[in-house]
Amino acid sequence: MSTLDAILDAGDAFGVLGRDVPVRLVNVSASGCLLEAAAGLEVGTTGTLWVTLDGTTCCDEVRITRCAPLAGSTATHALGAQFLWTSQPATQSLRRVLRQLQTASSPHDSRIRLVVGRRRPAEGR
């Protein structure tokens, strides 16, 4: 039996499928944020929200709490995301740089994406 067969035959084996979802950060608060995306996500979906602002990258784990279609917008869905307390907020946590995000001149000056289903984005993206 090969190593792969042994892993696949194990009763406790599971997999996680991840994907990057480009989003626009519309609003952010101490407990969560409002995002716009071209695709909807199922309520309960968890992921890591990555924001690069002025060369500084920060991230936080989030759970989608609301997904509503948008009319008259280039994005098709509004996503409500709640910050998760999976660990103590790090120095580069969105919650810690909240004031800087709120005073940013334009959301288009930032690189923002939601990585669903995995903890870190793939290298080179």
For 58-98, write each residue's pLDDT tens digit.
888 999 999 999 887 666 899 999 999 877 777 777 777 76
Residue 56 pairs in a beta bridge with 53
pLDDT for res 103: 57
Confidence of residue 24 (pLDDT cuts 50, 70, 90): confident
Q: What is the pLDDT of residue 64?
A: 96
Q: Structural domain boundaries of the chain? A: 17-116
- Across 8-17, 97-106, 115-124, which has the greatest mean pLDDT? 8-17
Residue type, 22: P
Stated pTM of the model = 0.68
pLDDT, residue 124, reads 41
**Facing residues of 61 across strands?**
48
Please answer whether residues 83 and 32 qualify as being in contact, where contact means their C-beta atoms are separated by less than 8 angstroms. Answer: yes
Domain spanning 17-116, CATH class = mainly beta
CA proximity to 53, closest of 124, 122, 96, 112: 112
